[in-house]
Structure 1
């Protein structure tokens, strides 16, 4: 990793294991937030931005599975590992179905966990760089998210940060559903009624910017989200 320490959310109700693991990861140059139950873990996740989550499953107030569902609603892509004494096949399958990147059964070797964490963060960093530098051809429009520029027939529109993020998410889900809740939580921070109205205004602005090409349409999927539909798109 570069000079900026990767932030890890560790949710573990076993005080000894939690402290040992936190210290071990911090010695290996990670910034670790340790919470003792699922509710506190969710509050920490909503409060701060993390690069990876390590979740125990059997925790008070909210178990690891329920916490993982909440986390996945906000960020479908954040690396997520379960650390669990539950070794039943059904539990492991359930963990992976919730979108876990790994399911590590206790007891485990911290060094192996460390290597897995480093590997997935390195992979994600490389993927992020590719996405960050990606440009989109949307019929007769060209979109450069890094410069926040939307170009059509030689005319360039500079997008606001929120317009840029919203169009980028629509492009990442091109011709597919961008869930309303996902966009609201990622760009606005929460899916409140007022943020929803704000997003509708931004969708209207993007429709206006893209109106000069009949092959492009932002479709409202009532109650679910939006689809950026581009005929013959080359994204």
Structure 2
């Protein structure tokens, strides 16, 4: 992938109960105003292996996605066309509208697969390539076990870079998504989560009452360096 100028978070309010005249009611916290998290996973293939993007706001518009929050569920995948030898991989790309109206947690599963030096990151549960799907969901229960497809075709799950994180959005207005990309020898690796065992490749993704104002990525290592030009963050909320 040519390095163009690539510069580079639902929701149940806590209900206060009044117990007699002396009790103080707990006030509901802030919450995302929109009902749906529309997460678009766009995967591209090229000479540098696989590159996964979920954000809509990198400077390289040819690789941007349609990820957003809205009161309307997205039903059509939105991905940039790619370029410079990189083409969309439809079998590994998908859009999922997560209904936040009656669910407290966004359980985000990051599944990373490895083959011959290449890394492929997947977060969605509904791509056509079902062996590479993740368990990402919304629920009133926090997931504690990672769910990933088994891979295949020479690709195996890489536990050190895979994880599940439950974001409790009941009292938070923003889902701050940090997409961090590292590069080595023309290959690319994308991570979204802050809690994988391979801590040097973790990100600052979080749920908060405030919108993040700066990208947070760990430095990488083992010959992999942070590619600021391909990395970005996006506060989703209002």
TM over 0.5: no
Larger Rg: 1
Between 1 and 2, higher relative CO (CA 8 Å, sep ≥ 6) is seen in 2
Higher helix share: 1
**TM-score, normalization by structure 1:** 0.23
Using structure 2 for the length normalisation, give the TM-score: 0.23
